[in-house]
Structure formats: C-alpha cells, structure tokens
Amino acid sequence: MSKQKFTIKEISSKSILQKSGLPDVDWVINPYGGCRFGCKYCYAAFVGKFRHPDEEWGNYVDIKTNAPELLKAELTKKLKKSSDIGTIFLSSVTDPYQGLEAKYQLTKKCLQVLLDFNYQGKVSILTKSTLVTRDIQLFKQFHNIEVGLTITSTGDPIAEYLETYAAPHQSRLTALAELSQAGISTYTFVGPLLPHFVWQEGQMKKLLQAIKAAGAKYVYVEHLNLTPTIKKRLFEFLEKDHPELLEKFTQSTQPEYRDKLDKIIHQLLKELQLPLAHEQVLYHRNLKKS
C-alpha cells in the first residue's frame, strides 16, 4: 500500500439494490464505494478506477449516505413479483463492516430497512471485520440470514500482509465463534487459497479445523484468480516485499496445481465433515450462475 493519504467522501448514490451475476446471489448491496481493507489480491480494485483514477485501492472510501433511503424506495420498485425475491448479498465490491461502518452505520441501517420491509428472501453477509458482531441482535430478527467471515490462514504473517488493513485472522475466528454461539447461521469463505500457505504441511488442516470448531455450517473455498489486472497489482507488491513468493504464485495458474490442491481440500473437508459449497473448490473463470 502506498503512503497516499486516505480520503473519505460522502456521496449520493443513484442505485443501491443491484442485480447480481454471482452464483447463489440475486441482488447485491454495496453501502460503500472502495474498501479500506485494501487487500492486495482484491478482485474489486478495478471498480473504483473510474471515480478514483489516481488513487490506490484501499486509500479511498465513498460513503453512500443515501443508501438506506434509496434501498427503501428500490425494494418497492424492483421487487414487484415473488420471483424477484431471492438472496441479497452484502457486499460484493466492498466490505460492509469495514471500520467506517462504526461511524456511518449504513450496513446496519440497510439491514433495518430490510427488516421493516419484511423481506422474505435470504440475506447473506460476508466480511473480514470483527465489527460484524455488533449487529448480532439485528441478525436474530431475520428469519433467513447467514453471516460469513473470510478467513484465509490461521494468522500467517504474509496472509495478513496481503489483507492490508483487515482484522487479524484469529480475531475473525473469534467473531465467527461468537456469531455461531449466538445462534446465527454462519459460514466461512476460504479464498483465495494463498499459494505460499496452502502447501505448508498441516496448515490447511489447522485452518479448516479452526473454522469447524468456530461453528461454521459450511465453507466456500476458492482458488486464486490471477486476471491480468489482479496479477499486475499483486505482483507489484510481491516484487517489492516478497520476491521469493513470485514463483509459487505464478504456479497457481496451472490446472495441474489446482487439480492437486482440489484433492487435498476435498480430503480434508471429508475428514472434518465440513460441507463444501457447490461441492467444489471454486475457480472464478469457471463460475456460472445456476
């Protein structure tokens, strides 16, 4: 992450409930533009380029201050038929519980709007932030909600370097356990599988065991997706700070690499009796909405 200054801008958004092309998801809500966590592998880093051409991903966040009011209006306008009701996901190109949520509470307010609307579909949340436990009482009021934590290691320093300003992995596991113990249906997103970590003997097992112990009902597991834009940004960081890892990350693009890793993951999950979403390790380029 460069030492540019961090900019926060309050903006008025034109739309907040957007149709999604993601598998398992019908609608997405992104209460913020940009993401302070600034993960170095983030697939969403290109999204802000239009509004923020000269700023590094992670160094700006747009606050969509009208998000709750807009959501209220769009729920009525966009969900006219029962077939429009589906899974609403927070969030696809930002983290809904990044630090600024403590002040602006846009995610919380959007969830309250969904409750007031008596939304009948499923709500799915995914975050790397421990702030998510703040809303446990709110989650309990939904009849169909699941809350996920993205966790890619058990505290490996390079994994945490790659997830620049996100909460440490151990505290994400603690948040996951707190949510599960409160009776919230939880899951974990283990992705991307980080090539420097996944081959360390016993480490993947330790991670999946910890996720199971924290009460996750199932896991999504995803391979690293090195599109040209993701690769360019990620490799700039690695070249500078961890050049010894470049070869490992490059190898991860090979189908043989993924096949071998898939077998290991399947075996570990079978041993742990931890269900795998879609019964496969996801690879972004093969994903299709069912």
Q: Residue 198 Cβ, how far from ligand SF4 at the closest point, in Å?
A: 18
Nearest to 95 by CA among 23, 189, 19: 189
Q: Counting contacts by CB under 6 A, is residue 101 touching ligand SF4?
A: no
Instruction: Considering only the C-alpha atoms of the chain, give the largest distance between any 2 of them, rounded to a whole number of Å.
Output: 54
Q: Residue 202 Cβ, how far from ligand SF4 at the closest point, in Å?
A: 26
Q: Residue 126 Cβ, how far from ligand SF4 at the closest point, in Å?
A: 8
Kindly determine how many residues on this chain lie close enough to bind ligand SF4 according to the rule CB under 6 A.
Answer: 10
Q: Counting contacts by CB under 6 A, is residue 96 touching ligand SF4?
A: no
Q: Residue 23 Cβ, how far from ligand SF4 at the closest point, in Å?
A: 17
Residue of the chain from 94, 133, 180, 185 that contacts ligand SF4 (CB under 6 A): 94
Q: Counting contacts by CB under 6 A, is residue 27 touching ligand SF4?
A: no
Q: Counting contacts by CB under 6 A, is residue 151 touching ligand SF4?
A: no
Q: Counting contacts by CB under 6 A, is residue 38 touching ligand SF4?
A: yes
Nearest to 188 by CA among 147, 140, 227, 155: 147
What HEC string does 214-272 produce? CCCCEEEEECCCCCHHHHHHHHHHHHHHCHHHHHHHHHCCCHHHHHHHHHHHHHHHHHH
Nearest to 153 by CA among 237, 39, 23, 235: 39
Reading the block at residue 186, the tokens are 């939880």
Can you give the binding site for ligand SF4, defined by CB under 6 A? 35, 37-39, 42, 44, 94-95, 128, 166
